[in-house]
Amino acid sequence: MSEGTVGARRRRRRIRVLAMAGVVLVTVGGGTAAALGFGGGTTEKPASSTMPPGTAKVTRMTLTETADVDGTLGYGAVTSVNGQGSGRVTWLPTPGSTVERGKTVYKVDEKPVVLLYGSVPMYRTLASGVTGSDVKQFEQNLAALGYRGFTVDDTYSSATAAAVKDWQEDLGLTQTGAVTPEAVVYAPGAIRVAERKAEIGAPAGGPVLTYTGTTRQVSVDLELSKRGLAKTGAKVTVKLPDESTVAGAVASVGRVAETQTGSSGGSTTTTVEVIVSIADQKKLGSLDESPVKVTFVASQHKDVLTVPILALLALAEGGYGVQVVEGSTTQIVAVETGMFAGGRVEVSGDGITTDTVVGVPK
């Protein structure tokens, strides 16, 4: 049962309206508080000497309204690596292992297929005289691996070929000075091997393995109606299965909405994918994949006056008030309410200031 529902039931038990001599009285706890009557002129609110069961101070603070949604901890999207050319797969990495630039992704006929970083796939043989953005991408990787003597540009020159021969020698390959598509796998960065798709001895052509990124993140299928919760860079809190929490930030918000059908086959939900990054990976412990809860900030009111929700009294003429305690006397003061969050409510009204004392039930 929500806190608001509980509070409402308690208030209904506490509030009793009586009609006496044209003035409406509201019973609060063990005492009565006068409110304005229906019709007629104004009447000053008489003070009451009846003290409330308990008291609390008006506090200035920041109220934050949050929304919890389900998410999944993992390593992000899964990508497939397909082998090219002839030969047989002779070595595969262990699932869960990490491969970095210049290292072997798998072997064909005992020859390493090497990981390089980039977005342009290896779609043709690179040799002296070839030009294009794929040449520059390859040369950037060659330079990052420590090879020199060539200019990083769009042209595969004889100097590039000479550096490639050095690279091939270090890999134990035939020194041709040219690079064929089956020799390289491109990925945006270091990869984590997810699953083997081929067996040792299988033909090299076809699916070999799948991989993900190396950094754990949280994906959320956020209902389209709640998309306003997720803004790139916004801070969130991720609750792990052991109830511990870790700070996160919205890394991206999907632009494509997808419709999902419920397990019963009836209702459908339209969602967008939200990716949450986790800066402190150590706080995730040994978890690789797991369901989690993600808390988004729906709205926030800073530096406002607040009282416990249970301090609110329903006034007979409408709206809410609080029972202000001044020494040994009390009076009901009408207030305007704002945000409700964390068991407190934003209030404003005549005479309501920081440290004003109000009545609350015990």
pLDDT tens digit string along 47-70?
445 789 999 999 999 999 999 999
State the pLDDT at residue 252. 96
Q: Can you count the helices (H) and strands (E) in the chain?
A: 3, 24
Helix, strand or coil for residue 204? Answer: coil
Residue 15: the pLDDT is 35
Distance CA 204, CA 182 (A): 9
What are the boundaries of each domain within the chain?
Answer: 3-65+301-360, 67-75+216-298, 79-212
> What's the confidence (pLDDT) of residue 265?
62
Does residue 257 sit in helix, strand or coil? coil
Residue 56 is encoded by which pair of tokens?
Answer: 């609390």
Distance (Å) of CA 112 to CA 12, 156, 174: 75, 22, 12
The CA distance from 347 to 58, in Å, is 9
Q: Six-digit token pair at 20?
A: 């006496």
Encode burial over 152-188: b for 16+ CB neighbours within 10 A, e otherwise. eeebbbeebbebbbbbbeeeebeeebbbeebbbbbbe
- Torsion sign, CA atoms 58, 28, 340, 350: negative
> What's the pLDDT at 351?
92
The whole-number pLDDT of residue 168 equals: 98
How do the pLDDT tens digits run along the chain, 362 residues long? Answer: 444 443 433 333 333 332 222 233 333 333 334 333 323 333 344 444 578 999 999 999 999 999 999 999 999 999 999 998 889 999 999 999 999 999 999 999 999 999 999 999 999 999 999 999 999 999 999 999 999 999 999 999 999 999 999 999 999 999 999 999 999 999 999 999 999 999 999 999 999 999 999 999 999 999 998 998 999 999 999 999 999 999 999 999 999 898 877 666 667 889 999 999 999 999 999 999 999 999 999 999 999 999 999 999 999 999 999 999 999 999 999 999 999 998 999 999 999 999 899 999 98
Q: Which residue has the tokens 């091997």?
A: 193
In the CATH scheme, what architecture does the domain 3-65+301-360 have? Beta Barrel (2.40)
Both structure tokens of 51: 């003290």
CB atoms near residue 130 (< 10 Å): 18
Specify the CATH superfamily of domain 79-212.
Answer: PGBD-like superfamily/PGBD (1.10.101.10)
Q: How far apart are alpha carbons 113 and 186 in whole angstroms? A: 10
Beta carbons within 8 Å of 145's beta carbon, 6+ residues apart? 101, 102, 167
DSSP collapsed to 3 states, 25-73: EEEECCEEEECCCCCCCCCCCCCECCCCCEEEECEEEEEEEEEEEEEEE
Predicted local distance difference test score (pLDDT) of residue 268: 84
pLDDT at 26: 38
CATH number of 67-75+216-298: 2.40.30.170
Q: What is the pTM of this model?
A: 0.70
